[in-house]
Each structure stands twice: as structure tokens, then as C-alpha cells.
């Protein structure tokens, strides 16, 4: 049997954890799927799957082979798409990820534009405030805020964002505006744990960095909650500049102590393309890069 056929069948069985479900997914008979997996195990001389009457699970060797098989099949798809021509219309399923608020504000409009342009495409948008392992979780394109570790992913920097202190104008009129980090001790602090998870905030850049211990009166895991608390006049919050852009424009919040801001944080678009760019990934990346680089809220 063709080895790519065997590989495709094995990937389907391992992902579905069922011979019957894999057969339905591939449009094959259950015996044909069983024979294909047996032939692959014989070819490789290793056991790829543990089978019982209740479940099918990849062995340790099977899990390693599964990762490589997924990568090879993805590269084959990309080669075929490239052979069809660079002007081929994007089609098929695309998985994208971004932080929750950033995704809602900036990535979702790109997704909607992409889907309107390309009727044969479908998108799963995973907006999560955690680092997504794009390879393990099958994500094609991601937007990440912050420094990137070394990896095999392709990265395009599109913007920077700032960690800023902000408060409502009414609060600042009543309590006064802090002029230096030490003056925060006399203010009500709202801590957005996703932006500043510690009680020691760093200020400044390069050799002038200083650390200020803060005592939050309100600590919340929700950035939206921290924004609303600050905008209601409760206290001073530290947030990312893009998160409060609409509130700054509306005059509900004001930035304070901008001269003490840490170095800006980079924003990257990441993707998993191999040597050949698939139309669906290439087109979505191009749209996302153009949209983010042109957005006034991302400096």
C-alpha cells in the first residue's frame, strides 16, 4: 500500500481513538482501516497503537510517529496547494489564536473580512489568555504579545504595545496625579493579574529600571474588570495600551507617569508554514499583518 495512505489512516485512527470513527472520517470500510494500520506497523516493525475492546491509544512510539506524520502530511498539502498556483483561492479549515481581548478587538475583524472574501474557507478562532502550543493543538496562525522563545515558527513583528498606568480624570482630580513610582503608595491600586501578575512593578528602561512594591486594593484576573474599575474612578490600574485605547479616546481614562513606562512589548504574527506557503495561511497572514500594522491603537 502507498505509505502516505497508510500514514493518513494511522493519523485518523490516532486522533479519533477509534478504528470505526476513522473509517467514517475517511470514507473507508473498518476492515480496510484495520489492514492499513497493521501494514504500517509491519513496515515499521513497531507497535503504534494499543487496542482493547474499550479504547485505542497511541503507544509512546506511536505518539512520536504521529507528530512526524502530521507534519509530513501538512507539508504534502502545502506542496499540492503550491502546485495549484499562487493565485489559488484559500479553501478549507484554518485555526487561529490570539489573546482574548486582542483577538476580539483586532483579529476578529480580520477573520470576518477573510471569510467574506473566501467563501470556501472556514475558521476556528481560539481567543485564549494562555500560550497555545500551535503544533500540538493544530493551530495554523497565532498572534502573540511579548518576547518569543526560540522555535521553528515563522514570526513577523507587526506592532508594539506599552504597559501604561491609567486612571479616570475624576479620580486624579480628587486624589492627585502621581509623579513618580514611590507616590503610588498613597493611591488605590487596581491590579490586572494578566498584565502584571506580581506585586512588584518595574518602571523605566535600560539602566534606569526601578522596582516599586505595590499593595493592590483590587486584584482581578479579568482585564475587562480592571478597566471598568479604573474607568469608574476607583483607582490606578496598569494595563496594555491597546486595551484602554477606546477609553482614552472617549476621555474615560488618562495615562499617568508615561515617562516611567517600561520598554514596549512586541506583537508578532506566527505561523507554521513549511517550504511552501498554503494559500489559506499565506492569505490570512497577509491580511492580518496589513491590518495590525495599519491600526492606530497599535504603536
Helices (H), the chain: 3-16, 19-26, 30-44, 60-83, 100-102, 108-117, 169-175, 223-231, 245-250, 279-293
Cell of 209: 529600571
DSSP string, 170-220: HHHHHH----SGGGGGGS-EEEETTT--SSEEEESSGGG-EEEE---SEEE
CB 264 within 8 A of CB 160: yes
With CA atoms as reference, report the closest residue to 279 among 87, 74, 4. Answer: 87
Q: Are strands 265-271 and 154-161 parallel, antiparallel or unpaired?
A: antiparallel
CB 239 within 8 A of CB 190: no
CATH 1.10.10.10 spans which residues of the chain? Answer: 3-83
Residue 89 and residue 119: Cα distance in Å, rounded? 9
Residue with cell 495600551: 241
End-to-end CA distance of the chain: 55
CATH code reported for the domain at 3-83: 1.10.10.10
The reported pLDDT for the residue numbered 1 is 59
- Mind listing the pLDDT tens digit of every residue in the chain (299 residues)? 588 888 899 999 998 889 998 899 889 898 999 999 999 889 889 999 998 877 889 999 989 998 888 888 877 766 666 665 555 678 889 999 999 999 999 999 999 999 999 999 999 999 998 888 887 788 999 999 998 876 778 899 999 999 999 999 999 999 999 999 999 999 999 999 888 888 899 999 877 889 999 999 999 999 999 999 999 999 999 999 999 999 999 999 999 999 999 999 999 999 976 555 678 898 999 999 999 998 888 86
The reported pLDDT for the residue numbered 189 is 96
The reported pLDDT for the residue numbered 214 is 92
The reported pLDDT for the residue numbered 123 is 96
The reported pLDDT for the residue numbered 149 is 78
Burial (CB < 10 A; 0-12, 13-18, 19+), residue 84, is exposed
CATH code reported for the domain at 92-150+272-293: 3.40.190.10
CB 20 within 8 A of CB 30: yes
With 0.75 as the threshold, say if the pTM is over it.
Answer: no
CATH 3.40.190.10 spans which residues of the chain? Answer: 92-150+272-293, 163-260
Q: What is the DSSP letter of 294?
A: T
The reported pLDDT for the residue numbered 252 is 97
CATH code reported for the domain at 163-260: 3.40.190.10
Amino acid at each position: 500500500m502507498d505509505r502516505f495512505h497508510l500514514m493518513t489512516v494511522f493519523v485518523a485512527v490516532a486522533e479519533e481513538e477509534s478504528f470505526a470513527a476513522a473509517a467514517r472520517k475517511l470514507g473507508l470500510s473498518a476492515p480496510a482501516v484495520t489492514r492499513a494500520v497493521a501494514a504500517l506497523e509491519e513496515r515499521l516493525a513497531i507497535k503504534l497503537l494499543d487496542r482493547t475492546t474499550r479504547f485505542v491509544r497511541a503507544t509512546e512510539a506511536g505518539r512520536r510517529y504521529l507528530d512526524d506524520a502530521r507534519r509530513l502530511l501538512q507539508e504534502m498539502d502545502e506542496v499540492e496547494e503550491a502546485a495549484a498556483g499562487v493565485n489559488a483561492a484559500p479553501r478549507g479549515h484554518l485555526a487561529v489564536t490570539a489573546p482574548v481581548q486582542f483577538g476580539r478587538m483586532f483579529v476578529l475583524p480580520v477573520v470576518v473580512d477573510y471569510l467574506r472574501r473566501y467563501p470556501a474557507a472556514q475558521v476556528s478562532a481560539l481567543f485564549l489568555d494562555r500560550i497555545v502550543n500551535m503544533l500540538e493543538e493544530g493551530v495554523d496562525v497565532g498572534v502573540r504579545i511579548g518576547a518569543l522563545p526560540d522555535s521553528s515558527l515563522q514570526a513577523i513583528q507587526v506592532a508594539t504595545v506599552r504597559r501604561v498606568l491609567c486612571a479616570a480624570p475624576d479620580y486624579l482630580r480628587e486624589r492627585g496625579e502621581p509623579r513618580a513610582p514611590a507616590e503610588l503608595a498613597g493611591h488605590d491600586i487596581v491590579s490586572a493579574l494578566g498584565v502584571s501578575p506580581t506585586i512588584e512593578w518595574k518602571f523605566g528602561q535600560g539602566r534606569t529600571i526601578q522596582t516599586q512594591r505595590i499593595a493592590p486594593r483590587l486584584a482581578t484576573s479579568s482585564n475587562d474588570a480592571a478597566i471598568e474599575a479604573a474607568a469608574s474612578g476607583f483607582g490606578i490600574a496598569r494595563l496594555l495600551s491597546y486595551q484602554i485605547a477606546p477609553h482614552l479616546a472617549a476621555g474615560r481614562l488618562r495615562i499617568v507617569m508615561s515617562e516611567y513606562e517600561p520598554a514596549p512589548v512586541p506583537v508578532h504574527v506566527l505561523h507554521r508554514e513549511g517550504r511552501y506557503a498554503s494559500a489559506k495561511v499565506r492569505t490570512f497572514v497577509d491580511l492580518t499583518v496589513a491590518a495590525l500594522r495599519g491600526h492606530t491603537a497599535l504603536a
